[in-house]
Amino acid sequence: MFNAVLIDKSDSGQVAGLSRIDTSQLPPGDVLVDVAWSTLNYKDALAITGASPVVRSFPMVPGIDFAGVVAESSNPGFKPGDRVLLNGWGVGEKHWGGLAERACVSGDWLVPLPEGISLRQAMAIGTAGYTAMLCVIALEHSGVTPESGEIVVTGAVGGVGSIATMLLAARGYKVAAVTGRPAEADYLTSLGASSIIDRAELSQPGRPLAKERWAGGIDVAGGVVLANVLAAMRYRGAVAACGLAGGMELPTTVAPFILRGVSLTGIDSVMCPKPERTIAWQRLAQELDIAKLEGMTTEVELADVVSTAPKFLEGQVRGRNLVPVN
Ligand code: NDP
């Protein structure tokens, strides 16, 4: 028997809490992992609170990522004792996830722990950091270099935004950090942001084209914020869009695309092919300032996960929330 967060649904609604589970109840998979660390992400908060239909079947163990040690394996790629991590693949949505002391998954979903980082550090990075790196790589593929000009990062105090800011600054980009919490300006400057923009400035519907400000963007907000970011891109600027913290809609026009040659790249971390995720993780292990990462990390006990989840939806979370599991 082991501890797990479990979400269940009945006629009276959705309930989530800490439960005792037997290993025999785990879903099928060819690798059994003793989870060492998991994390809390925006998507986990949506799943746990039921604010969005993230969970596809009940009961469900949430947790879209984890790092741990292989306990049993019939997959030729893994053996007991191997240190592994997992992000996405529907884990925590349609397959029991990482907010539990054990997880049974397909070995195809596992990434070996990159050299140079611990299991704890891997989850301090987590899906947020891995997604931030996918966004940085997308901007690079679009030809955006530090010489191109300033990069705008939205939701900068959150998990993806904080790590995106750090990664870009470490590579020599100037970063304009957009936040709804201007009181966190010192925190953002410590991550490497060169200017702070109050989110209110981008929250009202604007003109199809605004003054050219940024050479690139990493957006976690969607909605009007993303529309305003697109409208203020410089000629041939590029935006990597990964989130919907500000809304699912995108009230924009084609003007930035057809008049300024702006490109918009969608980032999905969940089904991202393994070779790309492996490269992203290797780069994270090499490029991220681990000491700085520690400063943006808060630990949340497994027993406190359910009560902490609503804070994500209220926009109160700073940096990364790490869950010590074993
Ligand atoms: P966090 O909750 O850590 O950060 C989200 C941040 O968004 C908040 O801290 C806040 O930053 C900002 N924000 C909150 N409300 C609004 C609003 N109404 N308008 C604009 N910005 C807002 O979440 P994560 O960093 O983990 O995830 C961010 C987004 O990215 C989520 O939508 C998540 O679902 C998505 N995501 C997508 C992935 C993918 O594969 N595509 C993978 C990982 C995440 P501030 O206070 O600084 O403004």
Residues in the chain: 326
From CA 229, how far away is CA 212, in angstroms rounded? 10
Q: How far is the CA of 273 from the centre of ligand 1 (A)?
A: 23
28 prior amide bond cis, ω within 30: no
Kindly give the distance from the C-alpha atom of residue 199 to the centroid of ligand 1, in angstroms, as a whole number. 13
Q: Which two tokens stand for residue 253?
A: 């026009």
Pocket of ligand 1 contains residue 41 by CB under 6 Å:
yes
> Which residue lies with its CA nearest to atom 23 of ligand 1?
42
Residue nearest to atom 5 of ligand 1 (CA): 158
Q: Read off the pLDDT of residues 39-93 as tens digits, 9 standing for 90 and up.
A: 999 999 999 999 999 999 999 999 999 999 999 999 999 999 999 999 999 999 9
> pLDDT for 191-224, tens place per residue?
999 999 999 999 999 999 999 999 999 999 999 9
Output the CA 221–ligand 1 centroid distance in Å. 6
Q: Whose CA is nearest to atom 29 of ligand 1?
A: 243
State in Å: Cα 271 to ligand 1 middle.
19
pLDDT at 315: 86
162 lines ligand 1 (CB under 6 A): no
What digits encode the pLDDT tens for the residues 212-259?
999 999 999 999 999 999 999 999 999 999 999 999 999 999 999 999
Is the domain 126-266 a CATH 3.40.50.720 member?
A: yes
15 has a pLDDT exceeding 90: yes
d(CA 98, ligand 1 centre) in Å? 20
Residue 287 has pLDDT above 90, yes or no: yes
**Residue 136: closest CA among 109, 112, 110, 172:** 172
Helical (H) or strand (E) element with 122 = helix 119-141
Take atom 30 of ligand 1 and give the residue whose Cα is closest. 243
8-12, 60-64, 260-264, 279-283: the lowest-pLDDT one: 8-12
Share of the chain above pLDDT 70, in %: 100
* Mean of pLDDT over the chain: 96
Domain ranges of the chain: 2-113+296-324, 126-266
Angle formed at CA 267 by CA 151 and CA 146, multiple of 5 degrees: 25
Q: What is the mean pLDDT of residues 108-130?
A: 96
Q: What is the largest CA-CA distance in the chain?
A: 61
Q: What's residue 271's pLDDT?
A: 97
**What is the architecture, at CATH level 2, of domain 2-113+296-324?**
Alpha-Beta Complex (3.90)
For residues 7-24, average pLDDT: 94
Nearest CA to ligand 1 atom 12: 155
Q: Are 25 and 3 in contact (CB under 8 A)?
A: no
How high is the pLDDT of residue 316?
87
Query: Which residue intervals of 171-221 are DSSP H helices?
Result: 185-191
ipTM rounded to 2 decimals: 0.99
What pLDDT, on the 0 to 100 scale, is given for residue 44? 96
Q: 155: CA distance to ligand 1 center in Å?
A: 6
Report whether residue 308 contacts ligand 1, using a CB cutoff of 6 Å: no
Residue 240's beta-bridge partner residues? 218, 265
> Of 315, 129, 113, 145, which Cα lies nearest the Cα of 234?
145
Q: How far is the CA of 113 from the centre of ligand 1 (A)?
A: 26
Does the Cβ of 155 fall within 6 Å of ligand 1? yes
